[in-house]
A and B are shown apart, each in its own frame.
Chain A
Amino acid sequence: MKLDYLDQLESEAIHIMREVAGQFERPALLFSGGKDSITLVHLALKAFRPGKFPFPLVHIDTGHNFQEALDYRDNLAERIGEKLIVRYVEDTIREKKLKEPTGRNATRNGLQTFTLLDTIEEFEFDACIGGARRDEEKARAKERVFSVRDEFGSWDPKRQRPELWNLYNGRIHKGENVRVFPISNWTELDVWNYIRREKIELPSIYFAHERELIIRDGKLMATAGGVIKPEADDQIVTRRVRFRTVGDISCTAASESEAFSLDAVIDEIQATRISERGETRMDDQLSEAAMEDRKKGGYF
């Protein structure tokens, strides 16, 4: 029997998850409440049920997340009965006396890395599963499925190991850890088609809704939670929008949309001429190699 492309992607991802369970002693699944990590949890259910997950869900909370995503996270963890570990960027700022970025477009997104590295150290995680996809960004397109990071979490593109057929090499030195990306080969559209096929529930902010927003540098930024402080010349509007990606409020823009259903969202994505991160992420637009540099610093 010839497998449909979604079946092929699914079985590849399940295989990778089981490899993690087999090769590592203390793995973790990084869960943000976004559609990609929700897809990972669904794949983990397929990979390990009726057993328990061989890893906890870990969320690095910047304190600037959408309430809808946080509620979804807590409900999901309870519904599937898996362990959820949350660590707060705010605590790291306090303990390490980090300087919080200030100014007009300040974001805690960069500080997440410190908390992530501390959490990896605290629990001695040797593998962290993440929902990064290669179609998102040109540096991500270069990363292996099993990506070895040094003790500072740093990615060295020049030190990537060969990765042959479906053999994944998880051997690491003490102090190193591996970031694992089971949905590397999925595109944004694949994720949505899979969510539709599997009838996966999503946080409501992925669908069109009315919301109060600040127009800043041509992008629609949410006023929710008071994360972004309006300035005198900022225009505050109410629009019908949805979020194409769900991340930290301070760096995730909304897009105007009439897509109330999964089918409508999929139509919208098929018709768009702008990439996912280009439309919504402020943090990637800082420089040509913004993502590569963040990865070298230990980011996902």
Chain B
Amino acid sequence: MDLLRFITAGSVDDGKSTLIGRLLYDSKSILADQLEAIERASKSRDDGEIDLALLTDGLRSEREQGITIDVAYRYFQTPARKFIIVDAPGHIQYTRNMVTGHRTASWPLFWSMPDMA
């Protein structure tokens, strides 16, 4: 079986972590207790909607601030391929963490949200 490593890259608040959360969700790679835990954590948010970014934002300060500070790694598998997904921060202050994430990845997935204003 093949191994593919990729990273999401993009600017702050463009939804890199949420995209990864959605990929995991759609590929049914989120286990029941993990989904329950983020549903519980999402309840305290203003809009009450489930926040898939919480899957990779594993540090206390990330959850408090709603941002990614350091790299996180998630894993999923299809019959043909095993994936390592790297979630990297977008803030300029955390560039060194983002670079650390790139080391593990062979492919970047550039992700940019058009300005809705």
Chain A 62-75 per-residue mask, 1 if CB under 8 angstroms from chain B, else 0? 00000000000000
Contact: B58 with A164, CB < 8 Å?
no
A190 to B99, CA, bound (A): 26
The residues of A that contact B99 with a CB separation of less than 8 Å are: 162, 164
Kindly provide the distance from the CB of A134 to the nearest chain B CB, expressed in whole angstroms: 5
Contact: B100 with A164, CB < 8 Å?
yes
- The answer to whether the Cβ of A8 comes within 8 Å of any Cβ in the partner chain is yes
Contact: B73 with A278, CB < 8 Å?
no
Q: Residue of A at shortest CB range from B2?
A: A5
- The answer to whether the Cβ of A144 comes within 8 Å of any Cβ in the partner chain is yes
The residues of A that contact B104 with a CB separation of less than 8 Å are: 185
Q: Which of A94-102, A118-126, A135-143, A199-207 is found at the contact surface with chain B?
A: A135-143
Instruction: Classify the interface of chain B: helix, strand, loop or mixed.
Output: mixed
- The answer to whether the Cβ of A289 comes within 8 Å of any Cβ in the partner chain is yes
Instruction: Classify the interface of chain A: helix, strand, loop or mixed.
Output: loop
Contact: A160 with B70, CB < 8 Å?
yes
Chain A 188-215 per-residue mask, 1 if CB under 8 angstroms from chain B, else 0? 0110000000000000000000000000
Task: Pull 6 A–B residue pairs with CB atoms less than 8 Å apart, ordered by A.
Answer: A141-B74, A142-B72, A272-B31, A274-B31, A288-B63, A289-B60
Contact: B103 with A141, CB < 8 Å?
no
A138 to B104, CA, bound (A): 18
Please give the residue numbers on chain A whose beta carbons come within 8 Å of chain B beta carbons, in ascending order: 2, 4-5, 8-9, 134-135, 137-142, 144, 157-158, 160-166, 184-185, 187, 189-190, 272-275, 278-279, 288-289, 292
Contact: A157 with B70, CB < 8 Å?
yes
A292 to B63, CA, bound (A): 12
With A164-B103, A185-B84, A187-B75 as known contacts, state yes or no: A139 contacts B59, CB within 8 Å. yes
Contact: A134 with B73, CB < 8 Å?
yes
Category for how many chain B residues contact A: 20 to 34
17 other contacts beyond A138-B58, A164-B103, A274-B33, with CB at 8 A cut-off? A5-B3, A5-B82, A141-B74, A142-B58, A142-B71, A157-B59, A157-B61, A160-B70, A160-B100, A161-B96, A162-B99, A162-B100, A166-B103, A185-B73, A185-B84, A274-B32, A292-B60
A164 to B102, CA, bound (A): 8
The residues of B that contact A279 with a CB separation of less than 8 Å are: 33
| B68-117 at interface with A (beta carbon < 8 Å) | 69-75, 77, 82, 84, 96-97, 99-100, 103-104
The residues of B that contact A190 with a CB separation of less than 8 Å are: 82
- The answer to whether the Cβ of B34 comes within 8 Å of any Cβ in the partner chain is yes
The residues of A that contact B8 with a CB separation of less than 8 Å are: none
The residues of A that contact B31 with a CB separation of less than 8 Å are: 272-275, 278
With A135-B75, A141-B72 as known contacts, state yes or no: A278 contacts B1, CB within 8 Å. no
Kindly provide the distance from the CB of B10 to the nearest chain A CB, expressed in whole angstroms: 19
The residues of A that contact B96 with a CB separation of less than 8 Å are: 161-162
Kindly provide the distance from the CB of B6 to the nearest chain A CB, expressed in whole angstroms: 13
The residues of B that contact A141 with a CB separation of less than 8 Å are: 56, 58, 72-74
The residues of A that contact B1 with a CB separation of less than 8 Å are: 4-5
Q: Residue of B at shortest CB range from A287?
A: B60
